[in-house]
């Protein structure tokens, strides 16, 4: 009996208690507080409620405030018109399980089913699938980290006990004003039907919130959706990295330098490098490039490596993934003529090397420069490359972590190759390279949903 109790204690500790402590204390895999001088996030759990949610939406509209609603699936299913109104009025909708039940009390498979069912309900009403999730009571279990990797788990920086009616309006308002500042993620409730809550408690919350919104406006503070606060926080962290991130970046640069020395990588411009390269045999399957040149196993290639210091600097300057991609295109535009001249100045490369070759997760637009883009074959190399490039994206991209979650299907490394013949033909003589750049940029803008982008001509 003692043995069974001991193992039960171990399982409960590692399955439930430790993941929750790690998430709350260290912020592992969760977002709980932002970095902002003027923006804070209002978040509401347990709704929608047919009595209090409409009043809350009226109040938010009155003060031009945006919020994030983490809805319970059974309530959302019952009141789709409230979800529709949230969406139409510009608020963000997240998941709070199908029923308000702790993840500690459910198997991982059951948690996934709750989330999927609630996400389906939200999508059926709004036409948009959500990627934001708040587990009831903020409790995660051991398997949530892996199973819910496609979601952004949202916790909070402060809660006020507003689910209890006895707190009262004045005391609740006083508590809220102590955290009336930028970066905070405030947890409130627009429904009092949860176990332990008082049915009429949201009425007090609404009265205290109106006073809070008045004073926040007088302080020039803005209530924004959680995704906006996350974007601002990501940008702030990119511009002002923490000491730990700074150490990671410096270590990464040292590793890159060691790699360049170990494998003898070269560049066409030591003062302002874009690509580093080395000559090596091609080890993949035979591939027909778009210009009709066949790249075979053991053909010599010029393997390209984007300069990671430059990549990091571009990432810090770029506010969106679109800006990042366009800045990279302009860098490629600059260096391809240099590569062509380098090959022409080295006859052995001109004769023996078959193609330029590289692997990247930013692979929209390079066809306009003459590259052929292909999927990597499944295998150990593909798996390791994907892991490395995803880590790289988290470091350099302005919203790398968020983008990897929301666009996981796009964040797949692909192989890019250009025959040396095409390189020399297109870039080995004076010509208007800007056409390729503008065309590639146009493809990215269209892909991002920008309308009426003029043709390069």
Question: Catalytic positions, please?
Answer: 45, 189
- What tokens does 436 get? 């390729």
**Count of Cβ atoms closer than 10 Å to residue 452 Cβ:** 6
Q: Which DSSP category does 353 fall into? A: E
Is residue 411 within 8 Å of 360, Cβ to Cβ?
no
Sheet of 372-375: strand order equals 266-267, 275-281, 300-306, 353-360, 414-419, 372-375
DSSP-assigned states of every residue in 284-321? S--EE-TTSPEE-TT-EEEEEEE-HHHHHHHHHH-SSH
- DSSP E strand stretches across 86-160: 92-95, 132-133, 152-154, 158-159
- What tokens does 206 get? 């609404």
Q: Which DSSP category does 454 fall into? A: P
Tell me which residue has tokens 């902002």.
Answer: 36
Q: At what angle do helices 201-218 and 52-62 cross, to 10 degrees?
A: 10
Residue 135 CA neighbour count, 13 Å, CB half: 27
- CA torsion sign for 373, 378, 384, 388 is positive
CB proximity list for 165: less than 8 A, separation 6 or greater: 198, 200, 201, 204
Q: What's the CA gap between 105 and 410, in Å, rounded?
A: 34
């Amino acid at each position: 009996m003692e043995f069974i109790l001991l193992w039960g204690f171990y399982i409960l500790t590692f399955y439930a208690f430790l993941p929750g402590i790690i998430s709350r204390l260290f912020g592992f895999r969760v977002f709980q507080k932002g970095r902002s001088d003027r923006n804070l996030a209002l978040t509401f759990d347990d709704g929608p409620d047919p009595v209090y949610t409409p009043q809350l939406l009226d109040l938010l509209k009155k003060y031009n405030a945006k919020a994030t609603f983490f809805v319970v699936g059974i309530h959302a299913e019952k009141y789709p018109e409230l979800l529709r109104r949230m969406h139409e009025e510009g608020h963000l909708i997240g998941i709070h399980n199908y029923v308000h039940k702790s993840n500690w009390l459910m198997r991982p498979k059951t948690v996934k089913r709750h989330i999927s069912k609630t996400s389906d309900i939200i999508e059926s009403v709004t036409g948009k699938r959500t990627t934001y999730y708040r587990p009831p009571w903020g409790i995660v279990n051991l398997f949530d980290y892996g199973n819910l990797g496609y979601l952004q788990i949202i916790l909070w920086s402060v809660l006020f006990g507003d689910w209890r009616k006895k707190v009262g309006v004045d005391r609740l308002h006083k508590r809220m004003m102590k955290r009336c500042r930028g970066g905070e993620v405030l947890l409130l409730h627009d429904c009092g039907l949860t176990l332990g809550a008082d049915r009429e408690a949201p009425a007090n919350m609404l009265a205290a919130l109106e006073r809070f919104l008045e004073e926040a406006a007088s302080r020039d503070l803005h209530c924004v959706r959680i995704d906006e606060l996350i974007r601002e926080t990501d940008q702030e962290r990119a511009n002002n990295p923490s000491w730990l991130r700074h150490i990671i970046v410096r270590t990464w640069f040292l590793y890159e330098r060691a790699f360049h020395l170990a494998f003898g990588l070269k560049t066409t411009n030591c003062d302002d490098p874009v690509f580093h390269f080395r000559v090596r045999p091609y080890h993949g399957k035979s591939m027909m490039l778009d210009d009709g040149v066949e790249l075979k196993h053991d053909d010599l290639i010029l393997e390209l490596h984007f300069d990671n210091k430059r990549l990091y600097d571009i990432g810090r300057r770029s506010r969106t993934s679109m800006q990042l991609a366009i800045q990279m295109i302009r860098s490629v535009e600059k260096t391809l003529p240099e590569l062509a001249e380098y090959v022409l100045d080295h006859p052995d490369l001109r004769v023996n090397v078959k193609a330029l070759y590289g692997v990247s997760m930013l692979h929209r637009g390079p066809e306009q420069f003459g590259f052929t883009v292909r999927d990597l074959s499944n295998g150990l190399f593909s798996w390791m490359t994907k892991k490395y490039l995803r880590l790289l994206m988290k470091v350099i991209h302005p919203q790398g972590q968020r983008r990897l979650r929301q666009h996981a299907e796009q964040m797949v490394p692909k192989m890019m190759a250009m025959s040396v013949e095409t390189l020399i033909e297109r870039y080995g003589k004076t010509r208007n390279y800007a056409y390729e750049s503008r065309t590639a940029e146009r493809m990215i803008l269209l892909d991002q949903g920008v309308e009426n982008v003029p043709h390069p001509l």
